[in-house]
Structures are given as structure tokens and as C-alpha cells.
Amino acid sequence: MGFGFSSKPFVLFVSFLLLFTNLELSPLVESASDYTTLVYKGCAKQAFTDPAGMYSQALSALFQTLLSQSMKVKFYKTTTGTGQTTITGLFQCRGDLSNSDCYNCASQLPTLANKLCGKTIAARIQLYGCYMLYEVAGFAQISGMEMLFKTCGATNVAGSGFEERRDTAFSVLENGVVSSHGYYTTNYQSVYVLGQCEGDVGDSDCGECIKTAVQKAQVECGSAISGQIYLHKCFISYSYYPNGVPRRSSSSSYSHPSSSSSGQNPGKTVAIILGGAAGVGFLVILLMFARGVMKKRDDS
């Protein structure tokens, strides 16, 4: 016994369900390419005096060596040139980057150094996923604990128990970076922390460097929801996620919560939107179904 209405709405409804069933609702996280985003640059004020091009040749050779090594290792330090044209340089990738991502990150550094600093006698380029440093022989040295750069989130979360959670996470980080030999990351009650020391720093000195960076974060950033502290020989970052630390790809940095206006899990938001759309579509089909039934009754 038929109901006397067109089968077209049913076909539309089935198509609608198939469309949304085949969509994979993964959490929306930052693209893995964010590890190549520039954090800061440090350029010496003095440029090369290089009429014969000796410095330029030594610097080019240094860049080539560092780049070739970035396909194999995550830290490498070397020296090129001779005499007064000797240049020492290094690169380091974040501990969680794959070899290919490390190379992709490091390959950006020579171009950025030339573009942002020119032919200066020393330069440091820091990206989210890697950094490079070079300096000519005789360049003035600084303490490994010297703070080079800081950034603190704009949102303040004082009075929410955040400081206690962050400081506990920091304590775990200070111990973890020593036992893990220079790189450590963890999260504690929605606080994500990361720390890394330069590759040639010993465990004990690394622990002291991270401890200093933690103290500076506590003072410089206070109750800020996120922060990054870069010292000469190490760096740390932290982010507080009130709704829980999001999942991410292996090579992406966690987005800072202060950059989001709502802090809601993006993947959950997408699921809610699509679920709502499916519900509306289902309701429309039901109304069309009821209309057909009533029309059949009226006709009979």
C-alpha cells in the first residue's frame, strides 16, 4: 500500500546521510608547517668587511654543511674558513621533528639569515621548529643563561588555580629534561610544557638553564595563559588549555590558547555544526513525509 507521495525526498535524505557519513571529523589543529614560522631574529650590528669575498665563501660553505647534516641529525656544530675568516655555526631542530621535517625547517634558515640580517658577523634565526646561529672568530660571547627573547599570552588567568598547575608542570619539566638528555615535553592538568637545551650542553647545565628559564617565565609572564622564554642555551614554552590539551600532528606546535577567541575544541565545534545540519535535513524530510501523508488523506 503506497502513501501517495514522491520518492524524491527519500532519495535526497539517503544522499544527505551518505555525504556526512563519509566526512572524517578530525580535530582541527595547526598545520604541521607552523614549525617554519619565524619567532625572532638576532643580527649583529657590524657587517663583514669582505672585499675578497672570503667571509661570504666561508659562510656559504657553513650553510651547505649545516643543511646537509639536517637530513641526518637534529643538532650539528661546525667551523669553516681559516684565520680571521673562521666562522663557527650550528643548527638545532626541536626534539620531536622527524628528519624530513628537520631538513625542511633548517632549509629555511640560510635564506632568512641573508634576508633578515645580511652579511653581518653574527646572526641567530629562530623558527618554531629549529634555529641557526653563526658568528665569526673573536665575536663577543654571552652567558648561556642570557635571555634573548620572550613572548607572553595576552589572556590572564589569575585566580583559576592556573599558577599552581603550571608550576607543577614546570617542576616535572625541570627533572624530565635532565633525564631525557636535553629535550622533554609533557602536560599536567591542561598545562602543556616543552623544554630543550642546545645539543652540546651537558645534562647538569641543561637542568640549570631550564630552571632559569622557568623562573624567568614565572616573573616575566606572571599569570599569562601561555609563554615562551628563549635563553642563549635553552628555551621553554607553556600553554594552558582550560578545555584540555588538544591533539596535534607530530611536527606541529600547539597553538596558543590566547590566539583563540573562544577556546572551544575546534573539532567538537565542527561536529556540532555538521550534526545540526544533519538534524535540520532530517526534520525537513519528516515534514515532507507528513505533508504527503496528509495530502493522501485529503484526497481519499
Measured distance CA(233)–CA(143) in Å, rounded: 8
Report d(CA 88, CA 194) in Å as an integer.
Answer: 27
Cα 58 to chain center, whole Å?
32
Q: What is residue 246's predicted lDDT score, i.e. its pLDDT?
A: 82
- pLDDT score of 288: 55
Mean pLDDT of 232-261: 69
Report pLDDT for 77.
97
CB 29 within 8 A of CB 247: yes
N-term to C-term CA, the chain: 14
Q: What are phi and psi of 296, to 5 degrees?
A: -60, -40
What is the reported pLDDT for 187? 93
Q: What is the pLDDT of residue 34?
A: 87
Residue 133 has, within 13 A of its CA and on its CB side, a CA count of 14
Residue 242: the pLDDT is 85
pLDDT over 60 at 30, yes or no: no
Whether pLDDT at 293 is above 50: no
pLDDT of residue 48 exceeding 50: yes
| Residues whose CB falls within 8 Å of the CB of residue 263, separated by 6 or more in sequence, listed in order | 241, 242, 243, 257
The residue with greater pLDDT, 3 or 112, is 112
More confident residue, 22 or 116: 116
Closest among 193, 190, 194, 161 to 263, alpha carbons compared: 190
Q: What is the pTM for the complete model shown? A: 0.72
Q: Does the structure show a pLDDT above 60 at 268?
A: no
Please provide residue 41's backbone torsions phi and psi, each rounded to the nearest 5 degrees: -130, 150
For residue 89, pLDDT beyond 60: yes
pLDDT band for 68, please (50, 70, 90 cuts): very high
User: What share of the chain in percent tops pLDDT 70?
Assistant: 71
**274 versus 72: which is more confidently predicted?**
72
Q: What is the pLDDT at residue 92?
A: 98
Q: What's the sign of the alpha-carbon dihedral 5, 8, 14, 17?
A: negative
Determine the pLDDT at residue 292. Answer: 57
Mean pLDDT of 202-215: 97
pLDDT, position 275? 37
Domains contained in the chain, CATH given:
38-136 (3.30.430.20), 147-240 (3.30.430.20)
- Indicate the average pLDDT of the chain: 79
Lookup: cell for 214? 622557568
Q: 156 φ, ψ to 5°?
A: -105, 130
Distance between CA atoms of residues 234 and 94, nearest Å: 11
Q: Report pLDDT for 159.
A: 80
